[in-house]
Structure formats: C-alpha cells, structure tokens
Structure 1
Amino acid sequence: MVSAFRARSLTQRAFLCLIGAALVVLVVLEGLNAPYLPAAAATVVSGVLCLAALVAPERLLAQQIALATAASGALSVVETQLPHRPENTPGMVELCAALLLITRAVRRYPASKAVAYAAGPAIAAALLPLRIAERQDHQLLISLIAVVAVPFMVVLGVCLRLYDTLRAREREAMRRAQRVEHARELHDFVAHHVTAIVAQTKAARFTAAAGHSQSPENLDRMLAEIERAGSQAMGAMRAMVSTLRDTATPATTHPTGDLSMLRDLTQEFSVLGPPADLTLDPGLTERRLPPETTTTVHRVVQESLTNVRKHATGADRVGVRVTVQPGSRGRLEVSVTDDGRGGTPAARGKADGSGYGLVGLAERVEAIGGQLTAGPQSGRGWRVLAVLPLGAASTSSS
C-alpha cells in the first residue's frame, strides 16, 4: 500500500490524504456522540484503528486486522452495559471500514487464512448496532449486516481476487511474449552476422591448414569482411539494447516499409557465400507494404540465407524470389532455394520444430496470418517457402 501510494502523482497523493483526513474527522464527530468522554475516546480510537487496517502494508495486515477488530468488538460489548448510549449512530465510518476489511482479507489471503482473517471484521461489524440505545430494530440491523452486507463483501473480495489473478496471468503472458520476441530478434540479427564471421574464419583456417599461402590482398580482404560482419553484429546488438532500454523508441533494426533492403542482404551474402539471385516482383516495389509484412519477409530471407551458409555444403547458386502468389492477389510468396547438400531436417535446424531459427520464423509468419514450409527439394537442395498476407496497406502507393 505504501509503495502504491508513493507511485501516485503529487495531486493524487494530496487528494487521498484529504479523504483520509475527512474520514478521521467523521470518526471524531461520531465519537462525540457518545454520552461519556471515555466512551467517546474509545470510539475514536476504535474507528481510527479500523481505518488504519485498511491502508496497512501487507506484512502488517494480519496484526492490524486482529487489533482493530478486537478493539471494535470489545467496545461494542462494553457499551451494551452502559446506562446511556448514543442515540444516532454506532459509528458508520467504523462499520464501513470493518466491512471493507472483510473484502481485503478475502482478496489478499488464501481461502484457509481468509476465513480466519475475515471472521473478526464480520463479527465486529455485526456487533456495532449494539452500541446505540435500546431499540426494536437492533435485531433487524444485525440481521442485515450478517445476511446481506457481510456476504456481499465476501463476494466482492472473491471477484477482486479473480481480477488480480487474471491481471497477473496477463502480465506473465506479456513478459513471456516479450522474451520470445527478444529471442527472435537476437537470433535474426546477431546470428546472421556471426555466421558470416564463422564461415570466413573457417575458410581462412582451411586455406592455412592446406598449406596454401595467402596473398596480402586476399588476406586483407578476408579480414576486412570479418571486421565488417563483426561491426554489423555489434550494431545489431546496440540497436537491440537500445530498444530494451527505451521502449518508446522504435528499434532501428526494423526494416523500412519497402523491400529494398533485400537487395543489400543478398549482395552481402554473395560476398562470403555462393551467389544469391534476387527476383523481386516489380509490382511490389511500387507498393507500401504493412511494416509487419516487410519485417517478416526480411526475416524469412535472412534466416534462410543464414541456414544456407551453415548447412548447404557445396551450394553453387541460391535463389531468392519475392512475388505475388499466382491466382491470389492478396497473398505474397517468399521463396529461398539452394542446390547444396545437407538437405535434411536435422542438418537445416530441424524444420519439425526443434531448431530455434525455423521455430521462431514459423511463429513470426503465423503471427501475421501466414504459413511457412521448409524441406528438401527433389534431387538436391533445400527450399523455404513463406506465404504471407499482403494486407490492406499494400494497395496504397508509396
């Protein structure tokens, strides 16, 4: 409760303090209604204790409930023995506070403890009408509190408890989704560049192990490519970290609203791997695609090229096609094929679901209503095919 109070704005805190002060004043005025000064003081103390229990921190809630209800119940029993009692009110603020304590106990504690902690305020609330002067409606008031008010506060506490449980589940689901998204981003951006570094380093080590001497020009070129891939990996990491640190700033690693970055991606791949030919439907370059579609297309091509570099042994050509699906103007096809060996699910990150790359890719594609398939081609090679919805934004001019 204290942390929640401090988290509020200054205006809200001032307003809550004003309400608390007004309630204390009402408790004092109700106490002055008692015919004896000791009874008036005891009424004020009992009412303040009930109000304090409402805002007590979680670690002190049980003790505060016990103290407040004990004081309230004892005062009600004592006042039944007095010759003169209040004529107007037994302490309505205290009564409301006792009923709200029932709700808070049911909301905060498990069922076994909630029964024990809610029983005290319920009994104290039922005894409060005994403080006023003898009237015929004593029994009616006690019955209304016990039969109507107390069950209502219990039901309210159960509803609030269920609401808290649903909110906790929603927060956990959001955190889980964020962790999955961050894992995808790290894999998509960093793994692509690190794979290039590993491939180039392996090539240099293989050449050295075979006893072939490298010319200074070739060695400088290979080191330059490793340096460039490392710099890109660092840039992707910085962009990811900046996104995590400031969620209000969009990630700089997200592609723009067109598919122009695919050409840079295939050209970068061709430097360290087999030539990658890009076939891009001219009609798509004239359209402004939805950001989620463009991002997913980029991820499909990037992950597929990374897998080619990792697993497609002896590949001579890689084909990347991004076209509108034949016979369906509302869907987009992204196809990446190669003619290398190693075209088995185990070698390609296990397309059946046990490889992180294709699993994350399939989740990303399905999240926007698409479908991803991956498998060996007839004869030799591997193919990744994603069918994505173009979306309403695809019809607008760029």
Structure 2
Amino acid sequence: MISEFRSRFRFRHLRQGLVGVALVVLVVLEGLNAPHPAMAAATMVSGVLCLAALAVPERLFARYGLGAAALSCALTVTEAQLSERPPNTPGMVELGALLLLSTRAVRRCPPLRATGLVAVSSLAAVVLPLRIELWDDYLKNLITVIAVCAVPFMVVVGLCLRLYDTLRERERETIRQAQRLEHARELHDFVAHHVTAIVAQTKAARFTAAAGHTQSPEDLDRMLAQIERAGSQALGSMRAMVTSLRDHATASATTRPTGDPAGPRGPRRLRDLRALTEEFSEVGPAAELILAPELADRPLPTGIATTVHRVVQESLTNVRKHATGVGRVEVRIGVRPGHPERLEVSVVDDGQVGASPAAGRSVEGSGYGLVGLAERAEKVNGHITSGPRDGGGWHVLAVLPLDKAATDKTATEETIACDHA
C-alpha cells in the first residue's frame, strides 16, 4: 500500500512538472514574438510569474498572485505606449493564468482578500490584449469577451469550487464525528466493562477486610486472580482498540485478546455470550443465559451480533455498578413473538426498585452506556427500551432485525466512512 501511494505521488508530481514545463515553453515562444529583446524578456518574466503564482502554497498565494497580476498590468500599460508591439499574440498563456488566479482567489482566499485579488487579476486580464500591435474591432471584441464572459465565468467557477470544498469538509467532519462516537462507544463498552469488574472486586475485598472476616490464602489468591484477569482483559481491549485506530486492516486480522471472547467487534454466534454471563456470575449475582435453540448456532450479521453483545455487556455492567439487592439476572435471547424477522434481547434483574442510582432512568436520560446502546440499535434499524419492571428490578429490552437488509445498510455506511477517512 505504501509503495503504491508513493508511486501515485511521484506520478502526480511528474505529470504536474511536465505540464509546468510545457506551459513555460509556450510562454517563452510567445515572448519571442516581441519585436525587441527587452520586451521579449519582460513578457517571459511576466508570464512565468503568473504561472508560478498558481503553484505557490496557500499562505503565499495572495502576496504572489497580487504581485504577478500587478506586474502584468504594469507591463501591458507600458507596452501600450510603445510604437512597436507584438504583431499577433499578447501572451495567451499569461491570460489564462490571470483568469485562473481569479478562480483560485475566490476558492481559497477570505472574501475581502479575494475581492482585491480578483479585481487586480481581472483588470490585468482585460487590458492584456492591448499589448498587440493592431487595434481594431477584433481587439475590442476580444476585450469585451474577456470582460463580459471569461472573467465572470472564472469567478463563478471559483464560487462553485468553494461551495464544493465547504460541503466536502462538512461531509468529512460528519464522518469524523461518527467515527469518534464509534470509538467512544467501543472504549465504553469494553474498557469500562472490565474496569467496573476491577472496581467491584476491589470493593468486595475491602468490604470483607473491613468486616473483620479472616480470609484464607486461597480466598485472597482467588480474589486477586480475578482482579488480575479483569485488568488483563482491559489491557487486551485497549490494545485491540489502539490497533483498530492505527490500522483498520491490521485490526481485522489481529488475534482476539485473551479472555475476551467477543474480540474488538463482538461475537459471530450468540452462544459466545455464555462466557460473558459466566464471568459476571463469578464476582456477582448469578446470571443465566436463556438462548433460543434455533439461534444458538446461527451465524448472525456482524452488526447485529455486535449490538446483541453490547446490549448484554452494558446491561450486566449497569447491574454491577448501580443495582442493589440483586440475587439473579436473566438474559433471554430469542425471536420476538409474532415477528419471526425480529430478534429480542431481554436483560432482567430482581434488584430493589428505587434503591439503584439507575432507577427511573430512560434511555434518553441515562449515561453514555445506554445512549450508546440506543445509537447502536438505531444504526441497525432496531430500538431499545429501559426501565423498572413490575415486581421489582430493572429491565432492558432490545428489538433488532434478523434480515440482511439492515446489515447491508450498516456495512455500506462503514465502507463509506472508511473510504472518506
């Protein structure tokens, strides 16, 4: 890829160099049409400077463009006073460069600076035909065409290109914002999940010690091992995320981090979620996964499988962080009754309603986790609801499509984002 980019870069610069050389040769040939060597040299210098002003960096363009246009205008006024002038061409390459200066000024410069530069370069382009020897109706018509048609046309082209640049920059910013949100969701879903486990296990150890209970070396080693494993999983998720940010292609081929069966993009099969519930049960209330048999070995589209994993992961994380008095968590995944094309993901706990900081929250008013889940569900044409349930506890319900159309939409959006990155 790097060698291909370098070859394209070199070919583009080679092509630009050849075009520049050809234009300079034309300027020299037009300059030789002048009757005197001094006039020929002045015409060549003026034409080359106008071409050079088109090629200078943005920070130098206004200064060089204004100087080149002013020099061209001054040369035209000087030659118009002479009795001997070029017989047929005033410098058509220079004329084209002056018109392009107006276009670039409108496209790139601030309005006030662009107005001044367009005025000077347009004036230089309009009066440039006065350099030739014969002043007749043809010359007047040429000046009229330049003033009435060529100059306004080049200004309009500059405005169109300026609008195109603005719209393209907005599109890129929209894509960058979408990518930032995606990375923020990834960081929250993986790293926050593992860090929450570390905090919960540390609190449990401190609570046991503060209560005066004597811990056996085996129990202490088990608790520290759980903390160590959660920390290793957090590091693995961070490493996978950094790899994804540095090189998307490399990230897709990278081996999944140890202890994280979902990897950086989620599982392909729903039965892989069992490892997530088992890990949760080791340091918290019992979590049971109830998976419809017809979905256990069914490979789901990546976008749907990832969203399912995130819903379960975030729900379990919120139980660990916010819920009190939870004895059991039920994770149920199956086909929505009456809607065989829809997948239903339900996470329910039996905690105390009102005792949890998360109680009374809706998806819209919740923290970043539930907001991220709502965004993920909408991205695949699904929806998610969250709230207290009758009889106590908290209920998170996600309804997602099983058809391929939503997946194709998501894959298309990701492809477009990668192409514009």
TM-score by length of 1: 0.94
- 3-state SS of paired residue (2:332): strand
Greater shift, 35-44 or 331-340, is seen at 35-44
Q: 1:210-244: per-residue Cα shift (whole Å, max 9, x none)? A: 11111222111111111111111111111111111
Aligned to 1:371: 383
Q: Which runs of 4+ in 1 moved over 6 A?
A: none
Greater shift, 235-244 or 77-86, is seen at 77-86
Aligned to 2:241: 240
**Per-residue deviation, 1:376:** 0.1
The answer to whether 1:270 aligns with 2:281 is yes
For residues 52 and 107 of structure 1, do their structure 2 counterparts lie closer, same or farther at Cα, with a shift above 3 Å needed?
same
For residues 285 and 177 of structure 1, do their structure 2 counterparts lie closer, same or farther at Cα, with a shift above 3 Å needed?
same
**Per-residue deviation, 1:117:** 1.1
The answer to whether 1:91 aligns with 2:100 is no
1:317 to 328, 333, 336: 328
For residues 345 and 133 of structure 1, do their structure 2 counterparts lie closer, same or farther at Cα, with a shift above 3 Å needed?
farther
For the aligned residue pairs, the C-alpha RMSD in angstroms reads 1.9
Would you say how many aligned residue pairs link Structure 1 and Structure 2?
390
**Per-residue deviation, 1:171:** 1.7
Aligned to 2:392: 380
Q: 1:179-229: per-residue Cα shift (whole Å, max 9, x none)? A: 111111111001111111111111111111111111222111111111111
Aligned to 1:389: 401
Distance in 1 between residues matched to 2:308 and 2:107, nearest whole Å = 48
- 3-state SS of paired residue (1:221): helix
Aligned to 1:361: 373
Residue 230 of structure 1 aligns to which amino acid in structure 2? G
Assess if the C-alpha contact under 8 Å between 2:271 and 2:291 holds in 1.
Answer: no
What pairs up with 1:1-398 in 2 under 5 angstroms? Answer: 9-134=9-134, 135-251=136-252, 252=256, 253-342=264-353, 346-347=357-358, 350-351=361-362, 352-392=364-404
Assess if the C-alpha contact under 8 Å between 2:271 and 2:297 holds in 1.
Answer: no
- 3-state SS of paired residue (2:396): strand
Q: 1:320-345: per-residue Cα shift (whole Å, max 9, x none)? A: 01101111111100000000125578
The gaps in structure 1 that reach 5 residues or longer are 1-5
Greater shift, 224-233 or 75-84, is seen at 75-84
Distance in 2 between residues matched to 1:186 and 1:357, nearest whole Å = 10
Greater shift, 146-155 or 80-89, is seen at 80-89
TM-score by length of 2: 0.89
**Per-residue deviation, 1:391:** 2.2
Assess if the C-alpha contact under 8 Å between 1:290 and 1:393 holds in 2.
Answer: no
- 3-state SS of paired residue (2:43): helix
- 3-state SS of paired residue (1:260): helix
Aligned to 1:3: none
- 3-state SS of paired residue (2:276): helix
Residue 25 of structure 1 aligns to which amino acid in structure 2? V
- 3-state SS of paired residue (2:344): strand
The gaps in structure 2 that reach 5 residues or longer are 1-5, 257-263, 408-421
